């Protein structure tokens, strides 16, 4: 297995991409290698995402991929956002999720549910310099997403929000939050309403930053709302329709998490394959042993299968085809593949893989979140089963 075959062995199905998409992907890949990779270890150790990188994300148009050009965005498709998340995550899953949340959750919610005035006010900011966050989860509201305790009450021309949110990605950097609260707990999910909350609104603050196993550079924080005052015109969609916004936005977000998982799996695979070519035991490279060859081949095959699922779901979304089942399957399978591939990468490195001096242990730590956020694996299975069995 000569070293010259390594790059051609990297599973990248060029036939599924147009020339423009290949160029876009390759540019992001080069940027990630040149600008992000040198900072990965330090960002992981400190648990802080480099501010200059976020500035460069905006400069490259990565934070407003689907935002129309009239609002300062790239005017591209959802598929391009997925390619960006994959390529960034190949180097650092924390970088991938910053761009993922911005595009697949926050911008998508604004594009689909925002009125003309909200789009005019916020989309140029999201494309230029404002990071977004998506605030649904609470201490008692995880998989049971609509058991919200955060309350909203209309008083005059504004809503007053009170409560706490947990596990909010991008919270430390964000200037705008798509935040969910209930106007009427007795109404159940029909009381849920989505709000556009700016970081400087009175009564809003960002609390504790979590000390996490993986994606450590990505901020995950508590949000505190103490009589937070939100203008009436900042309701996203309409009162009582927040559950629909949350569900449909998360369906798109799951494809983004699938892209994050295949990206980091590929990053781990590349390191493992290269190491197998260089590491010698019993007088030859360990890549010459059939046992290692089979592991490398199995890893690449699973990454390829997961990637095709991600790409297919993204294409379906862009085509306006119902993709709910495919999005759930994509997130479920891609997160399983990422966990398996990154674990095998550590084993190929042996004892070295278990240390922080080598990169593969971080990929393994980063992979674990894929089975948890934006809907656990069990919730994906429940969704898939319901759709396959006609809702029974």
Predicted confidence (pLDDT) per residue in 196-255, tens digit: 999 999 999 999 999 999 999 999 999 999 999 999 999 999 999 999 999 999 999 999
How long a stretch of residues is the chain? 392
- Residue 338 DSSP SS3: helix
The pLDDT value recorded for residue 1 is 39
User: Mean of the per-residue pLDDT values for the chain?
Assistant: 95
Kindly tell me if the per-residue pLDDT of 8 is higher than 80.
Answer: no
The pLDDT value recorded for residue 147 is 87
Phi, psi of 205 (to 5 degrees): -150, 155
Distance between CA atoms of 45 and 252, rounded to whole angstroms? 31
**Pick the residue with more confidence: 3 or 46?**
46
Distance between CA atoms of 138 and 148, rounded to whole angstroms? 7
The pLDDT value recorded for residue 6 is 54
Instruction: Kindly give the pairing relationship between strand 204-209 and strand 235-236.
Output: unpaired
The pLDDT value recorded for residue 169 is 98
Alpha carbon dihedral 117, 118, 123, 124, in 10-degree steps, equals 50
Phi, psi of 198 (to 5 degrees): -85, 150
Query: What's the 3-state SS for 257-297?
Result: HHHHHHHHHHHHHHHHHHHHHHCEECCEEHHHCHHHHHHHH
The pLDDT value recorded for residue 16 is 73
Distance between CA atoms of 255 and 258, rounded to whole angstroms? 5
Kindly tell me if the per-residue pLDDT of 9 is higher than 50.
Answer: no
Predicted confidence (pLDDT) per residue in 185-196, tens digit: 999 899 999 999
Straight-line distance from the first to the last Cα atom of the chain, in angstroms, rounded to the nearest whole number: 51
Calculate what percentage of the chain has a pLDDT beyond 90.
Answer: 93
- In the annotation, is 374 catalytic? yes
Distance between CA atoms of 98 and 88, rounded to whole angstroms? 10
Distance between CA atoms of 274 and 348, rounded to whole angstroms? 10
Kindly tell me if the per-residue pLDDT of 14 is higher than 70.
Answer: no
**Pick the residue with more confidence: 145 or 58?**
58
Structural domains of the chain sorted by starting position, each given as residue range(s) with its CATH number in brackets: 3-131 (1.10.540.10), 133-241 (2.40.110.10), 244-388 (1.20.140.10)
Calculate what percentage of the chain has a pLDDT beyond 70.
Answer: 96
131 contacts 63 by C-beta, under 8 angstroms: yes
β-strand partners of 138: 141
- Grade residue 2 by pLDDT with cuts at 50, 70 and 90: very low
Distance between CA atoms of 137 and 102, rounded to whole angstroms? 17
- Which H/E stretch holds residue 345? helix 324-349
The pLDDT value recorded for residue 142 is 83
């Amino acid at each position: 297995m000569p070293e010259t075959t390594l790059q051609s062995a990297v599973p990248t199905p060029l036939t599924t991409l147009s020339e423009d998409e290949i160029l876009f992907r390759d540019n992001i890949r080069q940027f990630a290698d040149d600008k992000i990779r040198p900072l990965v270890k330090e960002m992981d150790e400190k648990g802080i995402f480099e501010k200059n990188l976020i500035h460069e994300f905006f400069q490259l148009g990565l934070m407003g991929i689907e935002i129309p050009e009239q609002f300062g965005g790239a005017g591209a498709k959802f598929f391009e956002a997925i390619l960006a998340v994959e390529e960034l995550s190949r180097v650092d899953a924390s970088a991938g999720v910053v761009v993922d949340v911005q595009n697949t959750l926050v911008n998508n919610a604004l594009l689909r549910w925002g009125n003309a005035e909200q789009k005019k006010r916020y989309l140029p900011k999201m494309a230029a310099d404002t990071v977004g966050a998506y605030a649904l989860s609470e201490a008692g509201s995880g998989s049971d997403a609509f058991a919200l305790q955060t309350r909203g009450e209309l008083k005059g021309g504004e809503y007053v929000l009170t409560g706490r949110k947990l596990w909010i990605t991008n919270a430390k950097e964000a200037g705008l939050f798509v935040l969910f609260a209930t106007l009427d707990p007795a109404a159940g999910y029909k009381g849920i309403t989505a709000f556009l909350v700016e970081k400087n609104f009175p009564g809003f603050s960002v609390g504790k930053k979590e000390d996490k196993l993986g994606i450590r550079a990505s901020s995950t924080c508590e949000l505190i709302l103490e009589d937070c005052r939100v203008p009436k015109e900042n309701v996203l969609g309409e009162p009582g329709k927040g559950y629909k916004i949350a569900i449909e936005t998360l369906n798109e977000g799951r494809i983004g998490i699938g892209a994050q998982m295949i990206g980091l799996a590929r990053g781990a695979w590349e390191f493992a394959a290269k190491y197998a070519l260089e590491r010698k035991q019993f007088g030859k490279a360990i890549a010459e042993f059939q046992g290692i060859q089979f592991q490398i081949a199995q890893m690449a095959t699973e990454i390829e299968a997961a990637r095709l699922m991600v790409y297919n779901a993204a294409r379906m979304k862009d085509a306006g085809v119902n993709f709910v089942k495919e999005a759930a399957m994509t997130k479920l399978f891609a997160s399983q593949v990422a966990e398996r591939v990154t674990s095998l990468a550590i084993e190929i490195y042996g004892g070295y893989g278990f240390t922080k001096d080598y990169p593969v242990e971080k990929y393994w730590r980063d992979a674990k979140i894929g089975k948890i956020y934006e809907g656990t694996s069990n919730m994906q299975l429940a969704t898939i089963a319901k759709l396959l069995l006609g809702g029974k």
